[in-house]
Amino acid sequence: MLSELPIDLEKVSKENRDREILRVGMIAELDAVNLYEQLAAMAERKEVKAVLLDIAKEEKTHMGEFQALLLRQDKEQVEELEKGKKEVEEVVE
């Protein structure tokens, strides 16, 4: 993503805008996790690798914060996450 919004938030209704903002935040955090983990894998110095992995972990926390807020506002998302979880459980059991 690297600072580009994947959606034009001006075109989203005011009713749905906060949900979409939270989703954009989640995308940004996941993008940051991927970036920092990839950089850590390439880093040569142990301390650089350690700091990058620590920052990636913090980004995962931020992702959880956005998700928690989204789930409070989008009941359909809650239902679909539960369906997805059940499908995975069926496949891996």
pLDDT of 91 above 90: yes
- Sorted by where each begins, the domain ranges of the chain are 15-92
pLDDT band at 2 (very low <50, low <70, confident <90, very high): low
The CA radius of gyration of the chain, in Å to the nearest whole number, is 16
pLDDT of 85 above 60: yes
Overall average pLDDT of the 27-53 stretch: 97
Please give the Cα distance from 23 to 5 (Å, whole number): 11
Please give the Cα distance from 80 to 48 (Å, whole number): 39
Overall average pLDDT of the 57-61 stretch: 98
pTM here?
0.85
Please give the Cα distance from 24 to 17 (Å, whole number): 10
Q: How far is CA 68 from CA 23, 59, 73, 78, in A?
A: 11, 14, 9, 10
**Residue in the block written with tokens 């989204």:** 70
